[in-house]
């Protein structure tokens, strides 16, 4: 399993069929040592007391991680096929104001652009508390990087960066 997960970007043939993938808890692709460690510790899940401990551990942590995932710093995620629906407009005045305050020369990476597009397209479907939780993961380092006030909404920051990336910097049609 560890060899497949290392070279198939966190997937084994079974994981690929089930549309799941192993990633690092920081959202990055799994590293080789993490794949090996999580699979070595998988044997603990098959021992009689390890099985019971593994169930309890998975049930009490918020990511439902197995023991091997906890030690390796990994988690299993469901892959949802992404459909991007063109550029979305965020009709909130605060977004345009915040977009204007962002550094003019800042360019997002391709993966950040994809994450921003996915977030903006799906954010309205999340309950408010979940939206804040999701936005915080990307927004906190960005707020620090841009030296924005602590009171800056992570949700609005991601929308503003999306606006800057896909709307402001877009060539006229």
Residue whose structure tokens are 């021992």: 47
When pLDDT is averaged across residues 85-111 and rounded to a whole number, the result is: 80
Packing angle, helices 154-162 and 110-122, rounded to 10: 120
- What is the C-alpha separation between 69 and 64, in angstroms, rounded? 9
Where residue 60 falls among pLDDT bands split at 50, 70, 90? Answer: confident
pLDDT at 16 over 70: yes
pLDDT value, residue 26: 83
Packing angle, helices 93-101 and 154-162, rounded to 10: 70
When pLDDT is averaged across residues 142-160 and rounded to a whole number, the result is: 93
DSSP per-residue string spanning 53-120? HHHHHHHHSTT---HHHHHHTEEEEEPPPP---SPPP---HHHHHHHHHS-TT----HHHHHHHHHHH
pLDDT value, residue 171: 47
pLDDT value, residue 172: 47
Better-predicted residue by pLDDT, 83 or 34: 34
- What is the C-alpha separation between 87 and 146, in angstroms, rounded? 24
pLDDT in tens, 139-149: 999 999 999 99
- Specify which residues 76 forms β-bridges with: 22
pLDDT value, residue 152: 93
Angle at 79 between CA 82 and CA 167, to 5 degrees: 30
pLDDT at 173 over 60: no
Query: End-to-end alpha-carbon separation of the chain, Å?
Result: 49
């Amino acid at each position: 399993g560890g060899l497949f997960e290392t070279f198939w970007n966190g997937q084994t043939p079974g994981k690929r069929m089930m549309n799941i993938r192993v990633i690092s808890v920081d959202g990055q692709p799994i590293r080789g040592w993490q794949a090996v460690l999580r699979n070595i510790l998988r044997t603990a899940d098959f021992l009689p007391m390890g099985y019971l401990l593994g169930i309890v551990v998975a049930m009490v942590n918020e990511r439902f991680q197995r023991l091997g995932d906890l030690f390796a710093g990994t988690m299993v995620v469901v892959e949802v096929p992404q459909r991007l629906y063109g550029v979305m407009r965020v009709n909130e005045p605060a977004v345009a104001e915040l977009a204007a305050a962002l550094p003019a020369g800042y360019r997002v990476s391709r993966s950040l652009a994809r994450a921003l597009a996915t977030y903006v397209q799906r954010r309205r479907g999340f309950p408010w508390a979940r939206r804040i939780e999701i936005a915080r993961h990307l927004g906190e380092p960005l707020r620090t990087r841009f030296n924005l006030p602590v009171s800056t909404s992570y949700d609005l920051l991601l929308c503003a960066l999306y606006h800057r990336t896909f709307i402001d910097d877009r060539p006229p049609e």
